[in-house]
Each structure stands twice: as structure tokens, then as C-alpha cells.
């Protein structure tokens, strides 16, 4: 085998996490090759559709404590690339005043000094007249939340990785991974490579590759839909007037709605976190579901009437969930030269940090960050560390 087929690190999957890992590793002086099955920046993975929420507010304090590191690295990417990527327009979360998730967010934000205002419906109406809130709701506002321009982020990471010498290869599906005594062998549709360390960032397509490596992880793949709605008064929905929002309502079908101000398209984008539409990723069945559209539109009619007159566009995007909805940021339990990241449907905001964590796990076998409960071993071992499941939507089969 020629020397040009060996790399110190091979990254399988050039989406959000893979390109970030390539940036961190290449910037750290490591020899990296990324193998992506489709064209880079394609729309069959989890990392597209205009923007992603970034927030300090979580109902599990570990995520809130990790977030400042992610912000720092996003700002480093902005500085390296000379591009604006992070839009801290503020974020509101709304839900019934007794909603457990909303109350955990308020409590944890207080404990960690995350700035958070809590408003009753009359107070919220003055500040954000765009929302119609039921009388038993609360609305929280965190000025440090906002969104990432995801397409720009991916391109900036790819460009920075290339500038630091990473080899980025697309349209090259990885068919087989064979662990070796040292490193791994990777067979693609074109050739066979070897590496000292392998980073698996295959997003919703990871299950078959993990099975080859002896791990049958119970990920379910859901089809998420972004809906762009026309706004009647555009001046009320610009980023300087309208924050990102998330509905916290564990007991209701309306829970998990979230959305963004107008950005580069005329409408606001609204989605529901759990569509409850499960797909077979290998069949590329990504046609928008009418049922999801109706669910989202009904919510918009009730809560943001000024954006309910016309549906402009729908985009689909698959994502992967383990049953507890926590990240997998982990060494392979049997093959320590193989590390992996899967982001449980809420991880793009962490991509900058995940790149750093994957680089540390791959090169040193450990990370300086607290990853308690993110091990892949939790699906197979009774004694592995676990975190309490994230409560998002009671309609999800097998949900907590």
C-alpha cells in the first residue's frame, strides 16, 4: 500500500462534527483525512437548513457548563475565518409555569449565573408582542442565546482545515472499518486506507458502521422539518426584534416547537423537535410529512398569528436519537484508537467544542472536559455512568 493512503487520523463523515474535528486536528498540526460519502455541504445529513439555535440555557447543568467552551471556539473560528458565524440575538423559552423542563432551566441558569429574565404573559406581551401566550405560561429571555449560520460554519471549518493541510475527500463512502492492533483499516468505494486513529462522525448514518465494530446502539432516526412562514409585518421579525424561541411543554403536543427570526429568507423558520416520524435512513425517505406541517402550522396560528398566513417553504433534515437523548462522545470500549461523536438531535451548537473533544480523545485517549454519561458503553453496561434522560416530548415512543 502506498504511503499516501496512510494518515495519522481518518475522520469518517464530513458533516457538522467531522469538519469541526478536521479543523481542530489540522490546526493542532496533525495529519488528517476526511472521507465523506456525498458532496460536502449536501442536504441528506443533519447539518443544513440555514441556522441552528445556540444557547446557554439547558435543563442539565453539564451542557450549560460546557457551553462557554463552545462559544469560545466558535469565536475562534470567526477570528480565524474573518467571518461572522454567531448571531446572539437573544432567546426566549416559553411554557406552562409548572413545566419541569422550564423550571429546571430557570434553576440551573440561576445556579450558573446565566443571565435570564423571567416574564409573566402581560410583561412578555410588552417586550415581545409577536407571541400570544396563555395566562398560565412563563417566558424566559437569555440575551446570550441566538443562532449559528450553519452553512457558513461548515464552510469556514472546511476552509480552515484545508488551509492547515487536511485532506478533504467527498463522494467517497466508507464501506468497511477494520480495527487493527494499531489503528484501523478503512475500505471505501474507491480504495483502502489506514490510520493510527479513527474518528467516527457519521451522524444519522452511523448505525451500520457501528454494527461492524460490534456496537448495536439503539439510535432512532427522526425526520425533522423546517417550515418558513411569511410574516405580515417584516419589521417585527428581524433578528434585532425577534429572538430565537423554544417551547417547553412536556405534557402537550405543542411542546418542542422552536424557531428563528427572518435571516436570509423572507420568512421565520419554525420546527418541532420531535416529529415522531421515524425513517430508514438508507432509503433516503426525506419527503416532508403533511402531518408534521399541520402540527407546526397549528401552533404558529395559536402562538404567533402574525406569521401564520402563508407557508413559504419546507426543508427536511434527519437526525439521530439515543433513548436518553444525550450525546455520545466516546472512545470505542474495545478499540481505543477509534473515537466517536453522535449528537442526539441537539448538538450543533456544541460542534466547535466537539471537534476539540474528538481531537483530544483521538490523540490522547482522554479529554479535559467533563463527559460523564456520554460514553457509548452506557448502552451495553449496567455499571456505565448515565445522566437522567432529557425530557422533551411525551409523544415519543419509549420516551421517559
Residue 375 within binding range of ligand FAD, rule CB under 6 A = no
User: Which residue blocks in 82-193 are alpha helix, DSSP H?
Assistant: 100-111, 121-127, 150-163
The grid coordinates listed for 227 are 417550515
Footprint of ligand FAD on 166-185 (CB under 6 A)? 173-174
Residue 246 within binding range of ligand FAD, rule CB under 6 A = no
Task: Decide whether 130 or 225 has the Cβ nearer to ligand FAD.
Answer: 225
CA atoms within 13 A on the CB side of 67: 23
Query: Residue 49 Cβ, how far from ligand FAD at the closest point, in Å?
Result: 5
| Cβ atoms within 10 Å, residue 52 | 21
The window from 34-42, 134-142, 212-220, 229-237 that contacts ligand FAD (CB under 6 A) reads: 34-42
Sign of the four-CA dihedral 43, 340, 398, 107 = negative
Pairing state between β 146-149 and 167-169: unpaired
User: For ligand FAD, what does the binding mask look like between residues 66 and 95, x meaning CB under 6 A?
Assistant: ------------------------------
DSSP assignment of 225-273: EEEEE--SSGGGSSTTT--EEEE--TTSTTTTEEEE---SSSSEEEEES
Q: Using the rule CB under 6 A, which residue among 9, 15, 213, 231 binds ligand FAD? A: 15
Q: Using the rule CB under 6 A, which residue among 23, 141, 263, 319 binds ligand FAD? A: 319
The answer to whether residues 295 and 342 touch, using CB atoms and an 8 Å cutoff, is no
The answer to whether residues 137 and 95 touch, using CB atoms and an 8 Å cutoff, is yes
Calpha distance 20→69 (Å, rounded): 14
Query: Which residue's CB comes closest to ligand FAD?
Result: 15
The window from 91-99, 198-206, 282-290, 383-391 that contacts ligand FAD (CB under 6 A) reads: 198-206
Residue 346 within binding range of ligand FAD, rule CB under 6 A = yes
Residue 275 within binding range of ligand FAD, rule CB under 6 A = no
Q: Using the rule CB under 6 A, which residue among 9, 153, 202, 357 binds ligand FAD? A: 202
Calpha distance 229→382 (Å, rounded): 46
Q: Using the rule CB under 6 A, which residue among 9, 10, 11, 17 binds ligand FAD? A: 17
Residues of this chain that interact with ligand FAD (CB under 6 A) are 12-18, 35-38, 45-47, 49, 52-53, 173-174, 201-205, 209, 224, 226, 271, 317, 319, 342-343, 345-349
Amino acid at each position: 500500500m502506498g504511503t499516501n493512503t496512510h494518515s495519522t487520523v481518518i475522520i469518517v463523515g464530513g458533516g457538522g462534527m467531522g469538519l469541526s474535528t478536521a479543523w481542530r486536528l489540522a490546526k493542532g498540526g496533525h495529519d488528517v483525512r476526511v472521507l465523506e460519502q456525498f458532496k460536502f455541504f449536501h442536504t441528506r445529513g443533519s447539518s443544513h437548513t440555514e441556522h441552528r439555535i445556540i444557547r446557554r440555557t439547558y435543563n442539565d447543568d453539564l451542557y450549560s457548563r460546557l457551553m462557554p467552551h463552545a462559544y469560545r471556539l466558535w469565536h475562534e473560528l470567526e477570528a480565524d475565518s474573518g467571518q461572522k458565524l454567531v448571531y446572539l440575538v437573544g432567546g426566549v423559552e416559553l411554557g406552562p409555569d409548572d413545566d419541569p423542563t422550564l423550571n429546571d432551566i430557570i434553576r440551573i441558569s440561576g445556579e450558573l449565573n446565566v443571565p435570564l429574565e423571567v416574564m409573566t404573559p402581560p410583561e412578555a406581551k410588552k417586550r415581545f408582542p409577536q407571541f400570544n401566550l396563555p395566562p398560565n405560561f412563563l417566558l424566559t429571555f437569555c440575551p446570550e442565546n441566538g443562532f449559528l449560520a450553519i452553512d457558513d460554519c461548515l464552510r469556514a471549518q472546511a476552509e480552515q482545515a484545508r488551509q492547515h493541510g487536511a485532506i478533504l475527500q467527498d463522494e467517497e463512502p466508507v464501506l468497511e472499518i477494520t480495527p487493527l492492533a494499531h489503528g484501523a483499516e478503512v475500505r471505501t468505494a474507491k480504495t483502502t486506507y489506514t490510520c493510527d486513529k479513527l474518528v467516527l462522525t457519521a451522524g444519522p448514518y452511523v448505525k451500520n458502521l457501528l454494527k461492524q465494530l460490534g456496537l448495536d446502539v439503539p439510535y432512532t432516526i427522526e425526520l425533522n422539518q423546517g417550515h418558513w412562514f411569511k410574516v405580515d409585518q417584516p419589521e417585527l421579525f428581524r433578528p434585532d426584534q425577534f429572538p430565537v424561541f423554544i417551547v417547553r411543554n412536556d405534557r402537550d403536543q405543542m411542546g418542542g416547537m422552536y424557531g428563528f427570526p427572518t435571516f436570509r429568507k423572507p420568512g421565520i423558520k419554525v420546527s418541532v423537535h420531535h416529529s415522531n416520524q421515524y425513517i430508514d435512513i438508507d432509503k433516503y425517505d426525506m419527503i416532508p410529512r403533511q402531518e408534521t406541517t399541520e402540527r407546526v402550522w397549528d401552533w404558529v396560528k395559536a402562538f404567533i398569528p402574525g406569521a401564520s398566513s402563508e407557508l413559504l417553504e419546507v426543508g427536511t433534515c434527519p437526525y439521530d436519537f439515543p433513548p436518553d437523548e444525550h450525546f455520545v462522545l466516546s472512545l470505542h470500549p474495545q478499540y481505543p484508537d477509534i473515537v466517536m461523536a453522535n449528537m442526539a438531535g441537539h448538538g450543533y451548537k456544541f460542534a466547535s467544542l466537539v471537534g476539540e473533544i474528538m481531537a483530544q480523545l483521538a490523540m490522547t485517549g482522554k479529554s479535559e472536559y467533563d463527559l460523564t454519561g456520554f460514553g457509548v458503553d452506557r448502552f451495553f453496561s449496567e455499571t456505565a455512568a448515565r445522566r437522567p434522560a432529557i425530557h422533551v416530548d411525551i409523544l415519543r415512543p419509549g420516551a421517559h
